[in-house]
Chain A
Amino acid sequence: MSVLIYTEIAKGKVKKSSLEAVNYGNRIAAQLNTTATAVIVGDADMSDLGKAGAKKILKLNNPKLSDLNGQYLTAAIEQAATAENANIIIFSFDFTGKEVAPRLAAKLKAGIVAGAVDNPVIAGDSFSVKKNVFSGKAIATYLIHSAKKIISLLPNSFPVELTGTNTPEIVNFTVNLDAVNSPIKVKEVKKVTGDLNLPDAELVVSAGRGLKGPENWTMIESLAKELGAATACSRPVSDMNWRDHHEHVGQTGIAIRPNLYIAIGISGAIQHLAGVNGSKTIVVINTDKEAPFFKSADYGIVGDAFEIVPKLIEAVKRFKANRN
């Protein structure tokens, strides 16, 4: 029996959220005196998977898997789990994880916790796993009763550790998908985000209606660029098409939990906080000292974004220059 972890490649590299999942699966494997097996579709440098703790890597082979179609992936991962005799399967709670993990759970009748934020507490055959509920307002502890268990890990819940010295065994695993036929045909893929994928980003610079118009985002983008951060926005900003809707964070957008979230000209409505209150450090810049966001901030600056942001950009440049 091993712990199986679904991992994925993006832009030629194993995704950071996948490495987090391997670390997570490996910690569970250690507690159960077994080892971690990563499954992956495609080719890339796999050495980080070993450093993250994978003892074995199954490269899933079948031409039908090239689009990461959920129906095919579900069947493929099921076959890998059977071959590895794995009762515990780990995903990242990312787009594929949200599509495939529940589908596989229903197929295997595996109890699933989606969006886990902590290591499971293992007692006999049951796992206790914590996850955020009520859009980040509370944390619930779920008990998984079933023998088969699936956990998807909320990205950025743990820092990636690449300290292992494993050279994993890489196995070509041929999947038989003759009996599975998905009628879904991919017509087109449109890449939208810049260099940094918002859900994975460790640093995020976000701005709201206080910026007055889309033309004022140049300084937000410069600050983000200097910091190596991704950009995000509040809902009205994406509703008015000042920014792409992929940047919309909050209850009805995406939930993120970066190490640093800088909110500029955002009032801090409860629905906005729902998407960002898991961030480790929150900075708020707002002209109104009564803005509710300050109550949820670690650091605040009361002042005009149009004066403060340019100064911050200079300060980051100096900070970086001093470190070199």
Chain B
Amino acid sequence: MKILVCISNVPDTTTKISFTNNDTTFNTAGVQFVINPYDEWYALVRALELKEAQGGSVTIIHVGGLDSEATIRKGLAIGADDAVRIDVEPSDSFAVAEQLAAYAKDKNFDLIIAGKETISYNGAMVGAMLAELISLPFVSMATKIEIINNVATIEHDIDGGIEVVECPLPLVLSANKGMAEARIPNMRGIMAARSKPLQVVPAVTADKLTSITGYTLAKGRTDCKFIDAAHPEQLIELLHTEAKVI
């Protein structure tokens, strides 16, 4: 089974966000980048489990510049067999999907897994777009996948519940929490990653349908009003009269 896992490079969850150039550019100075948690913990690890059980290969793919190679190496250290970097800074999720589609369309992957969303731009779009561009079925927000005789049985989140679906391979999946448990790369993995193939592929011309014109930081809350623990009923009063939420 040939599996492709889409990896994005995002600021670590604890990063303090700031902007430069008149609030038009994300300030990457001093920011620690990591593999997007959905891509690493769920998509990649589940792909490795499937390969370990049934044979095949796991390729990771990333659309981005040279700066993201450290993140790609981490994916190799966790256990991917090889990696592809498409050499362009994508402008939005559609640009990512177009690059991924151009690469994947004639490679006969049995399974392509993306994360549910990036924790940077929170698009939740690439998986569905890629599926459309290469005419494959798509299952969103999968929490479980088993494959028997080339047919996948998938549990995924839907409005108010879980749906169990069956779909013959090939297909595209977006991975949500539950698919697998995180793996920490060991020394052997880290050493092996250095010599695993990382192919750099030139980008195709992609459409630019949207762009970001500016950022503002979310308004923080300035001061918390404390209520005496002996009189929690005052809270209910304030929620009614002051906050007007009940």
Residues of A near any B CB (own CB < 8 A): 8, 10, 15, 68, 70-71, 74, 93-96, 98-107, 109-115, 128, 131-146, 182-193, 197, 202-203, 227, 245-246, 248, 251-253, 255, 259-260, 270-271, 274, 277-278, 280-284, 294-304, 307-308, 311-312, 314-316, 318-319
Contacts and interface: CB of A to CB of B under 8 A. Distances in A.
B155 to A, nearest CB: 8
Which of the listed residues B13, B164, B210 has the most CB atoms from chain A within 10 Å of its own CB? B210
B157 to A, nearest CB: 6
A10 B160 CA distance: 9
A74 B97 CA distance: 17
Contacts of B211: 142-143, 145
Contacts of B128: 70, 98-103, 106
Interface stretch (B43-51, B76-84, B135-143, B185-193): B135-143
Interface of B, secondary structure class, is mixed
B8 to A, nearest CB: 13
Nearest to A67: B163
A193 B162 CA distance: 10
B17 interface: yes
A64 B136 CA distance: 17
B246 A227 contact: yes
A316 B143 CA distance: 37
Contacts of A303: 229, 232
Contacts of B66: none
Nearest to B42: A252
B138 A299 contact: no
A113 B210 contact: yes
B213 A301 contact: no
A17 to B, nearest CB: 9
A295 B159 contact: no
B212 A142 contact: yes
Nearest to A15: B159
A55 to B, nearest CB: 26
Contacts, number: 273
12 contacts: A95-B159, A102-B128, A102-B129, A112-B94, A141-B213, A190-B163, A203-B245, A252-B177, A274-B13, A280-B245, A299-B225, A315-B232
User: What is the interface residue range for chain B against chain A?
Assistant: 35 or more
B133 A299 contact: no
Contacts of A312: 232-233, 235-236
Which of the listed residues A193, A281, A297, A303 has the most CB atoms from chain B within 10 Å of its own CB? A281
> Which 4 residue pairs are nearest across A and B when measured between Cβ atoms?
A303-B229, A111-B209, A102-B125, A315-B233
B122 A133 contact: yes
B141 A110 contact: no
Given A105-B129, A300-B226, A139 B216 contact: yes
A189 B155 CA distance: 9
A209 B188 CA distance: 35
Given A139-B215, A193-B160, A260-B246, A70 B129 contact: no
A93 B233 CA distance: 36
B70 interface: no
Given A95-B140, A190-B161, A284-B224, A245 B177 contact: yes
B69 to A, nearest CB: 23
B151 to A, nearest CB: 9
A128 B213 contact: yes
A106 B224 contact: no
A112 B235 contact: no
B178 interface: yes
Contact of A114 (B125, B167, B171, B216): B125
Given A112-B94, A245-B178, A270-B14, A301 B235 contact: yes
Contacts of A253: 177
Contacts of B107: none
A185 B165 contact: yes
A195 to B, nearest CB: 10
